[in-house]
Structure formats: C-alpha cells, structure tokens
Amino acid sequence: MKSIKALFVALLVGVGACLSAQAQNLSIATGGTGGVYYPMGGGLAAALSKYVPGMQATAEVTGGSVDNLKLIGSGKPYVGFSMSDAALDALEGEDKFKGNKVPVRTLAVLYPNRMHVVSVEGRGVNSFADLKGKRVSTGSPGSATEVMAFRLIEAAGMDKDKDLKRERLGECRRCGRWHHGVITGGAMRGCRRRCSGAFHACVGSSAGHAVGRAAAQCE
C-alpha cells in the first residue's frame, strides 16, 4: 500500500508540475472500467482538481494505451496511461502509428506490467503452440494488450489472422465468453480476480521461446 501511495504521489507531482503554470481543463485518458488505468485515472483527476489551482481534471474511459496515445496526439489537453510498447511505437511512428508520430513524453513509470497467456483447465492447451486453430482473446481494440499479443503470436511463428480465431474483447467482457487469451496489466485487476478461478497459465516452452524472440526484435 505504501508503494502504491508513493507512485501516486510521484505521478501527481509530475503532472502537476507540468501543468500548474497554465491552469486549464484536463482530460485523462485511462482504459476500460475493469482495468487498473480507470481507477488510477479517476483518483489522479480528483487529486489534480483539488490540489492544482485552477485545474479541472476528468478521467475518460477509452480502449487503452493505443487510443490514449492517439488522443494525446490530437493536440487537445490530454494526458494518459500507456504501456511502454505502444508509447515507443507512437514516438517512432510504427505499427498502429505508421506515418503518424506522436511527440509523447513520459511523466512517470508507475508499475510493472505482466503478460499472461491463459487457458481454461481441461481444454488441451498446455503450450502456446496448442492455441493454433483455437478461439483466442487478444484484448480490446485500441489497447496495448492487443499490440503485445500480436507480436507474441508472430514471434511464435503463427499468423494472427489465419492460425487463430481472434476475439477482440476487453477483460470484463471475457468472463464466460472465452477459453483462451492474453492478459496484460498489474496484479490488482477486479475482473481478473473474478475470472481467475477457471484458468491456468499455459506459458509452456514454445511461448517462452516466442517471448525471447519478441524481446530480441525490440532490442
């Protein structure tokens, strides 16, 4: 709890220092209601509105990191949350930002994200390669989860459009609707806690190799 408070204070100080010189209305791009970004954005908006003179901040529900970076690049008064993969793509004009670079800057690093590849117990999926031909949730459109899932699939030697039956679902919508999927984020996610009882991690040897290849491509 102390570390969470310290991170929040650091973010508040960082954003406040950048914006206090020119009081304005500010929109904070977060994510879906079942993730970490949404409650953190709401808390940050409340704190900025209370402690930064003349500031009125509001948190907005979005598709996630990619959408947030596009909003930041729109020229309107936005700050937002993003995973590092999507932020680097935006800065360099790659992937979802091809030809549309975003002059993004980092205000604070808040917490480590973890990627989980999961499957329902008893569905015969014990390695990443076993997902071939299965219906797999790769994350919400506009999220960095989707970006990272696509890179992992490619690094595993599969085609995301031909080898998988992709479901582009946000985490809360997945409960009861999917059997296999990719989840990224911090540990304190409400929807993950509600869904977690039915799943087991299936990151076997092939997924481990895929992660290594994906990491090598980013170096």
Asked if domains 2-97 and 114-218 share a fold, the reply is yes
Dihedral of CA 18/111/36/141: which sign? positive
**Homologous superfamily of the 2-97 domain (CATH):** Periplasmic binding protein-like II (3.40.190.10)
pLDDT for 78-130, tens place per residue?
999 999 889 999 999 999 999 999 999 999 888 887 787 888 777 788 888 88
Between 44 and 35, the higher pLDDT residue: 44
Question: Distances from the Cα of 102 to the Cαs of 12, 32, 62, 155, in angstroms?
Answer: 23, 22, 18, 26
* Mean pLDDT (whole number) for 58-74: 95
The residues with which 120 forms a beta bridge, in sequence order, are 199
Q: 73, 70, 54, 53: which is closest to 62 by C-alpha?
A: 70
Structural domain boundaries in the chain: 2-97, 114-218
- The two structure tokens encoding residue 203: 């990151």
pLDDT for 163-213, tens place per residue?
998 887 655 444 556 678 887 766 545 555 445 555 555 544 444 445 555
Q: Can you give the pLDDT at residue 35?
A: 80
Question: Distances from the Cα of 72 to the Cαs of 82, 103, 107, 111, 186, in angstroms?
Answer: 11, 9, 13, 21, 23
Task: State in Å, rounded, how far the first CA of the chain is from the last one.
Answer: 34
pLDDT band (50, 70, 90) for residue 155: confident
Q: Is 127 left (phi over 0), alpha (psi -120 to 50) or beta?
A: beta
The percent of residues above 70 in pLDDT, for the chain, comes to 69
Q: Does domain 114-218 have CATH number 3.40.190.10?
A: yes
pTM of the model: 0.73
